[in-house]
Structure formats: C-alpha cells, structure tokens
Amino acid sequence: MRKSGILLAISSLPGKYGIGSFGREAYDFVDFLCASGQHYWQILPLGPTGYGDSPYQSFSTYAGNPYYIDLEELIRLKLLTRKECDSADLCDTVKEKGAKNAVRILDKVNYEKVYFGKLALLKKAFKRFDCNDREFKKFVRTESAWLTDYALFMALKDEEEGASFIGWDPALRLRKKKALSDAKKRLANEIAYYEFLQFFFFKQWEKLKGYANEKGIEIIGDIPIYVAADSADTWAHPELFLLDKAGNPTGVAGCPPDYFSATGQLWGNPLYDWEYHRKTGYRWWIDRMQHCFRLYDRVRIDHFRAFDEYYFIPYGDPTAEFGHWEKGPGVDLFRKMEEELGDKPLIAEDLGFLTDSVFELMRACGYPGMKVLQFAFDSKEDNDYLPHNYTRNCVVYTGTHDNDTVVGWYPTLSRADRKFVKEYLGIKNTKYLHWDMIRTAWASVADTAIVPMQDLLGLDQSARMNIPSTMGINWMWRLKEGQYTKELADKLLRLTEIYGRK
C-alpha cells in the first residue's frame, strides 16, 4: 500500500520549555499528520544524549531522553509548580517589537540551558515523588534487565562529574562485584532518580504513541547501528565489543571519505565482536529489536551496510581516512531475528558506498532501502536515486537529517546540475522547488515517501538539522508555534490524494 509521512525529531517540536517534548504540541502534530492524510511520523533516536547532543551517540540503547518529558504533566501531578517551570531559564528568547513584556522563543534548542534548567526541574520533581508508588515499582522490576545497569551508570557518571567510564577507578570500570555493591548502597537515591526519569519517559511516550496509532499514524523509529563508547551498554557488556583488557576499543566505527566529508566520518563507537554475537545466537540484537518494536511501529536501522561489511578505523586515528573493511554478520543475524520475532517492518539505511555483497544482503533480507532525491541530480550520470529507476520496495525522501534543506541545497549545485533539476522536474523556475520535490517523491512508485518538516515548510539552510563531522552546531532546529497550519495540511492532503497515498 502506498503511504507517506513526515520526518520531525521530538526535539524539534515547538513549546515554551526549551526543547520539544511529549506534551500538547506533540499531540497537535499528530493531529496535523492526520489532517494532511499522512500515515507515518518518522522521528530521530530517542536515547539520552551526551557530549555533542547527537541522538546517534546515546548513553544507552534502551533508555529514553529525559529532555522529552512533558513538564505540564508534572505540574498536574503537583510534582512541580507552574511558577517553577515558567521562571526556569530553558530557552533563548527575544523581545517582540512594540510589546512591553511579550517575548518570542527562538527556533533553536539551547542545549546548555536545557541541561542545567530542565534537569534541575526534574530533580525537584523527583524529590516530591513517592518512590513507593505501585506503578513505578512495577516499572523498575519489569525493566530491570537494562534499567539497573543504566541507572547505576548514570549515577556513577554524576559522581565522576561526567567523566567517561574509561577514566573511573579500575574496580568500577571493570565492574568488580564489591565496588558495584558499595556504589549501589552509596548512590541509592541517585539511582532512584534515574529510574524515575525513565518511568515518566516511557509512560508519556507510550501514551503519545497510543494516541498516534488510534489516529492511524504509525511511528517510524530510528536506531543507530552502534552504541556510544561511553554508554551503559559498553560498560555493562564489554564482551559484546572489540575492546582490550583495559576497556579501550581496538578499533572504532565510521565511514570512509564520501559525499559528506573528504576525510571520512570518525564516529568513535566501539565495534561489535560479531563472533561472540554469533555464538550467543545474536541474543543481544534480538532483545534490542524486541525493545524497539515496543517503542515504534517500524524501525529504520542506520548504516545498514555495516551488517555486510563494517569500516574498522584503528583506535586513536584522528580521521577515518586509513580504515579498512571487515566482514559483518550478514543475513544470518536477520534470519535468527525473524525466527524469534517474526517478520518485522524494518527500513535499511543503505546510503553511501555500496558493493555487490551489500545489494545481495538487501535482496536476501527484503527490507526497503532509501532513495534520497538530493542525491539524484548529477547531470553527468544516470543513478539509482532518480525516480524512474525506483522499484516499489523503497522509501523515498526529499532529504534526511544529514542533508541540507531543499531550499538550501539547490544553490550549492553546479550550473549544469541546476539545469538538470529543472529539466527532470519539468519546471521553469525554482520558487516552489520544495513542493516540486515533494510532488516528485509522492508521484514515484516507491511504496513510502517521507518529507522532512523543514522541506514541507520550504525553509533555508538555517533550518538544517545536522552537518556530518561537525559538532556544536547541530540538532538544534525547532518549529515555531503556528507554522503547521490548516492551509499547509490541506495542500499536503490534496497532493497525497492525487498520488494515491491517503
């Protein structure tokens, strides 16, 4: 069945508390998706973010980001007061011209303010929360397989003033039994605080997802293939990764020089010990995916090609230029996964340099890959991203979180490529290029078409979500109140009806 949707990170939702959340604005966006005839809301990873604020570098592959907890619910539960929330310095604002007290919230997340301000409010709410609450205690028991390690890990990080676990006392770094037992007693209150955060994260997310599903909207989740080097996963389960005896990676993840970066991308994540995973029947991966399908209706796996071959960069290299390819688990992992979980709806992020063996893995798994229209318009060659080359089993995007917006991208093209864009799309001017690109995606044979919210609004490069291989300038863009209007919903609805995606 032909369907379509919108890509929008939770962090990009509007609101007055510094960053998008599971509050009213999220429900309003679901209503907008419904009114515009969409079936999917694609989001970015939901994990707690650390240094650099990237959702692809999380402290846990299971935990949720406490930034997204709706403060309004905590006010209703009398865990916070409105005065406390309204007086917190959570976002950048500017005074409206001609108004005495009115301010406008700027459309960027200030992560420093969110980190200090929102977490201080959540800590205050925790102090007023009854940890003997029956529902809370049940959650802690039910999620203990990952929550116990995660809460202790985060409590220890706080005690160590945020330092990576590699720098901790060796007894804690290497998880000696007595050191862990002592830490659990010493940090019992801090551990309960992190359990409290996860309790409200999951409670609020499951309610929002339920609302979306009732409206006919499915959630497309996004998971990084790798976990962060400084994460509860790496600390609690070092056997899963290629690490030395001190806990340092022997090699790290990334990708070679490409369209995005002349020196490649050095992600720094520890690489999996695939031989160990094979011996366990891929238990960790199966459990991870089972958890994902509790959170999402469909799952996009980032950097899927690494299941065929992964890029090994020697630990300590300053760039990704001198890595080499190693063999991944291949189709064996996905056959084991299907045996236990059934046929789950996955999307394979298959962008970048692809070999015949990657294409063979894609065929063997049968998962839809991705087609990005911004990659299509090279006037020198006919490529797989041009819509006339698509098969039905794919997901077409005007762009992704790693691309510039359509409006920002077009002026960067060569003169010949700009000419080709207009010829291919059948247009004489580019005033409404973002709509021409959406129309092309929606009209294609691809079963699924997704547009980033920035492209739907026709925003310029200032609304770009991420520039790969850079830090400190990404993951900040937010919607403004009132940007997704009834008129915009009606226009997208009509396009969706015309091309049979409603």
- pLDDT, residue 96, reads 66
User: Which element (helix H / strand E) includes 52?
Assistant: none
Query: Is 298 within 8 Å of 262 (Cβ atoms)?
Result: no
Q: Enumerate residues 6+ apart whose C-beta is below 8 A from 272.
A: 226, 240, 241, 242, 310
Instruction: Encode 351-389: b = buried (16+ Cβ within 10 Å), e = exposed.
Output: bbebeeebeebbeebebbbbbbbbbbbeeeeeeebbbee
- pLDDT, residue 469, reads 80
Write out the two tokens for 406: 């359509």
Question: Residue 451: phi, psi to the nearest 5?
Answer: -120, 130
Concatenating the DSSP letter of every residue in 347-402 gives: EE---SS--HHHHHHHHHH---EEEEGGGT--TT---TTSGGG--SSEEEES--TT
- pLDDT, residue 53, reads 95
All structural domains of the chain with their residue ranges: 1-230
- pLDDT, residue 71, reads 98
- pLDDT, residue 448, reads 98
Domain at 1-230, CATH homologous superfamily = Glycosidases (3.20.20.80)
- pLDDT, residue 102, reads 63
Query: Is 218 within 8 Å of 297 (Cβ atoms)?
Result: yes
Separation between Cα atoms, residue 502 and residue 489, nearest integer Å:
13
Location of structure tokens 């999380």: 58
Residue of 53, 107, 308, 349 marked active site? 349
Residue of 107, 143, 233, 402 marked active site? 402
Residue of 53, 107, 195, 302 marked active site? 302
Say whether 438 sits in a helix, a strand or coil: helix
How far is the CA of 349 from the CAs of 58, 395, 396, in angstroms?
A: 19, 10, 11
Query: Is 61 within 8 Å of 71 (Cβ atoms)?
Result: no
Q: Active site includes 302?
A: yes
pLDDT averaged over the chain?
95
Say whether 406 sits in a helix, a strand or coil: helix
Q: Enumerate residues 6+ apart whose C-beta is below 8 A from 92.
A: 105, 106, 108, 110, 113
What is the 3-state secondary structure of 453-482? HHHHHCCCHHHCCCCCCCCCCCCCECCCCC
Q: Active site includes 273?
A: no
- pLDDT, residue 99, reads 61
Query: Is 168 within 8 Å of 103 (Cβ atoms)?
Result: no
- pLDDT, residue 149, reads 98
Q: Say what angle helices 134-142 and 144-159 make with each other, to 10 degrees.
A: 100
- pLDDT, residue 104, reads 72
Q: Cβ of 238: how many Cβ atoms within 10 Å?
A: 18
Query: Is 21 within 8 Å of 69 (Cβ atoms)?
Result: yes
Give strand pairing partners of 450.
Answer: 5, 397
Separation between Cα atoms, residue 432 and residue 405, nearest integer Å:
13
Q: Say what angle helices 144-159 and 177-186 make with each other, to 10 degrees.
A: 80
Instruction: Encode 291-321: b = buried (16+ Cβ within 10 Å), e = exposed.
Output: bbbebbbbbbbbbbbbbbbbbbbebeeebbe
Residues in the chain where the model's pLDDT stays below 50: none
- pLDDT, residue 260, reads 65
Separation between Cα atoms, residue 321 and residue 313, nearest integer Å:
8
Q: Could you tell me the end-to-end alpha-carbon distance of the chain, in angstroms, rounded to an integer? A: 10
Separation between Cα atoms, residue 401 and residue 474, nearest integer Å:
10
75-117 residue pLDDT tens: 999 999 999 999 999 988 876 666 666 677 788 999 999 999 9
45: DSSP letter: -
Concatenating the DSSP letter of every residue in 125-145 gives: HHHTS-TT-HHHHHHHHHTHH
Burial of 75 by CB count in 10 Å (0-12 exposed, 13-18 middle, 19+ buried)? middle
Letter for the amino acid at 314? Answer: P
